[in-house]
Amino acid sequence: MNFRTLSLVFAFAASMVAWGWPATAAVTVIGNGLGNSCYQSAEFGGEPKEGIRLCTLAIDQEPMPLSDKSATYINRGILRARLGDSEGALTDYNAGLAMDARHGEGYVDRGAVYIALQRFDDAMSDINRGIEMGANKPHIAYYDRAIVDEALGNVRAAYLDYKKAVELQPDFTLASEQLSRFKVVRKDTEH
């Protein structure tokens, strides 16, 4: 393994340690029912196991529009991912996106799980799709894509994506911390 590859592996590992998992974004479910409680757990934290229980109850027992049921699967996927259950998270993301493929966040979130599984081509495809669809939290999508860029050895693209994440959300500490690792050097074009 050459020094450049080793450096990229170290940088990727450092970015994963800093966060523990790539960033994710929940999908809003309107109302006061279990689906909304599931969304609240995915978006604002709390105990993931309890959130998963609420999401499962919402999916199994609560009548809701297809878009909300899709969002509830995606939100349960986020909670499963937080527990390190990549396969369960993928199952939920796939189910949610099969019901309603209009949730850009679902693609970004599934991309985050692909990052954790080191399936970088799949991650890039999903994250790009989420960005193209206008994900509600594009700064998260650009941050996750920067992780993929770096893992694939495209340091310049990683820098630009971290920079874009900070431009979109100036107080996004995770992206700012990653961006601070870079040193921009201008190439001398005169000769």
Look at residue 185 in the predicted model and tell me its pLDDT. Answer: 85
pTM for this entry: 0.82
Write the burial class of residue 52 (CB in 10 Å: 0-12 exposed, 13-18 middle, 19+ buried).
buried
Tens of pLDDT, residue by residue over 8-53, are: 333 444 444 343 456 566 766 666 788 899 999 999 988 999 999 9
Look at residue 184 in the predicted model and tell me its pLDDT. Answer: 83
Look at residue 134 in the predicted model and tell me its pLDDT. Answer: 94
Look at residue 32 in the predicted model and tell me its pLDDT. Answer: 72
In degrees to the nearest 10, what's the CA dihedral of 177, 153, 91, 137? Answer: 40
**Which domains does the chain carry?**
1-23+130-182 (no CATH), 28-102 (1.25.40)
Tens of pLDDT, residue by residue over 71-105, are: 999 999 999 999 999 999 999 999 999 999 999 99
Tally the C-alpha atoms within 13 A of residue 1's C-alpha that lie toward its C-beta.
Answer: 7
Look at residue 2 in the predicted model and tell me its pLDDT. Answer: 37
Higher-pLDDT residue of 133 and 188 is: 133
Look at residue 14 in the predicted model and tell me its pLDDT. Answer: 42
Tens of pLDDT, residue by residue over 140-166, are: 999 999 999 999 999 999 999 999 999
Q: Under 8 Å CB-to-CB from 114, ≥6 apart: which residues?
A: 120, 122, 123, 126
Degrees (nearest 5) of the Cα angle 149, 150, 156? 75
Higher-pLDDT residue of 191 and 112 is: 112
pLDDT mean over 113-136:
97
Give me the count of residues in the chain.
Answer: 191
Look at residue 12 in the predicted model and tell me its pLDDT. Answer: 43
Average pLDDT of the residues of the chain: 87
